Amino acid sequence: MGCRVLNAIGGNAGARVCRLRGRASACRTSHLPLVMKTGEPRHSRRLLANRTQRRSRSGLPAHGWAADIGPGLGTIATDNDPGGILTYSLAGAQYGFDLLWVCVLSYPSMVALQLVAARVAAVTGSGLTENMREHYSRWLFLLAVARFLGANTVNIAADMLAMGEAAHLIFRGSVPLFTIIFAGTSLALQWCMPYARYASYLKWLALSLFCYAGVLFIADVPWRTVAGALVPHVAWSEDFLAMLLAVLGTTVSPYLLFSQAEQEVEERSGGQAQHNSRRTSSKDLRQQLRDMRRDTLVRCLLSNLCSAFILCAAAVTLHAAHPSLSPFGQARAAAQAIAPVAGGYAQSVLGFALLGTALLALPPLAGSAAHAAASSFGWPQGEQRDRRIAGVLVLLMMVSAIIALLFYAFGVDPLRACYWSALTNGMTVSPVLILLVLLSARRDAVGEMKAHWLTRALCWLATVVICAALAAHAIVQVL
């Protein structure tokens, strides 16, 4: 039981597959198991190993093209889950390039938010929920966590339904049956196998996402219109503002921040164990933060570029040919965005993209929620806490699978479910962002290592934009 519990926890709320050039890292989106299987050597978790000592079995340095490209694929695949792929496709189909500025201009703020979340965890040695519970009133803390857990549950359910639709596009057959099969497969993999083992294979399904970039080389792209779309543009209509919130929600997804913090906690505790529990010096901590900043810049760039490619490909193809595509349409219609590249295999290629990214995204989604619940209850560290987190994870996956089946029973297509998931994230992320930025400047929390004023300003910019979009949407609804 102990071994299974540890594996259920590992890979969910934490370590990322991709420090580029072969390092295990706190990546924004692809995650390694935080707790190794029973019997695995402790030194296999070393995160700061000397790169020059890493060799392949053939004796050559492990810096070949696969070592460099593989982690990048993991980053792209896990961050752009089915909710992201279908939401960006829907935004491009309905509004052309009008929302491209979100994918581009959100990059600095995305980097800043990831850095702030990681910095708080690295300095305090605790995740975001533990810090929020300690430094804020109970009702404010519970509000933020409850909204996060609700958004995560809807996100997981939408991704599960998307897996069923993806399998249907590839193999044909029953969507509900495929949903149950692949939801069970995801839970079994999380329970029985280290995340890195199967993620190293699944991430190659992200190659299908390059079809969106290929469309821009084949199709006739109005580049002047693309350049003009980089200037923020807002249409004062309920539908446009809802889509803006959905795009912001899938770009600034709250689970990424909680996962980033949990990863830093695990890296810090692992580093202390390797150094015989010696206290980390300020110099070492600053070096770790510099490394984290460099890697976060690259990872966020890869993720946002992929998002922009998806939206642009949909704008070039679907906006012209299928302007009626809406949240009430079918997910398979979104496959036409890559038809110029994939031809008659467009639906199958989209199916592989949805299936692979969902299997990669579900562990961090479920794991971050399970850790947030554990922190909310104040369970002490130890094996008993790990067992409880594993139980919460299983319960969350089961509840999400039931919600996914209810979506299908009531005629909710995966496209609409993923759109609702992104919209829920956009409507619920603001309390988490506000508490996070305030926390990064509290001396009683982070001491002298508080975030730079420019980093905090970029975080506030993202928070203000989301709050303004939410307020505008509410006002338009009333009027």
Structural domain spans, the chain = 2-27+65-478
Q: Go through the chain and tell me how many residues it has.
A: 479
The token pair at 374 is 């554990």
In 106-230, alpha helices (H)? 107-124, 128-135, 138-171, 175-192, 195-202, 210-218, 223-228
Euclidean distance between CA atoms 34 and 25, whole angstroms: 11
Euclidean distance between CA atoms 243 and 43, whole angstroms: 46
The token pair at 122 is 């690295």
Euclidean distance between CA atoms 235 and 82, whole angstroms: 26
- Better-scored residue on pLDDT, 42 or 321: 321
Report whether pLDDT(454) > 90: no
For 278-293, what is the mean pLDDT? 65
The CATH topology of domain 2-27+65-478 is Amino acid/polyamine transporter I (1.20.1740)
Question: In which region does residue 55 sit, left (phi positive, over 0), alpha (psi from -120 to 50) or beta (all else)?
Answer: beta
Three-class SS string for 389-442? HHHHHHHHHHHHHHHHHHHHHCCCCHHHHHHHHHHHHHHHHHHHHHHHHHHHCC
DSSP class of 206: G
The token pair at 329 is 């349409």
The token pair at 456 is 């905090």
For 144-171, what is the mean pLDDT? 91
Indicate the range of 46-55, 140-149, 218-227, 374-383 predicted with least confidence. Answer: 46-55
Euclidean distance between CA atoms 264 and 45, whole angstroms: 13
pLDDT of residue 423: 93
Which among 50, 120, 61 has a CA at the least distance from the CA of 292? Answer: 120
Which among 116, 29, 110, 17 has a CA at the least distance from the CA of 67? Answer: 17
For 249-278, what is the mean pLDDT? 67
Other C-beta atoms lying within 10 Å of the C-beta of residue 59: 6
pLDDT of residue 312: 94
Query: pTM for this structure?
Result: 0.80
For 282-297, what is the mean pLDDT? 73
- pLDDT digit string (tens) for 303-314? 889 899 999 999
Euclidean distance between CA atoms 148 and 57, whole angstroms: 44
Q: Name beta bridge partners: 442.
A: none
pLDDT of residue 329: 62
Report whether pLDDT(283) > 70: no
15: three-class secondary structure by DSSP: strand
Euclidean distance between CA atoms 355 and 203, whole angstroms: 11
For 3-26, what is the mean pLDDT? 36
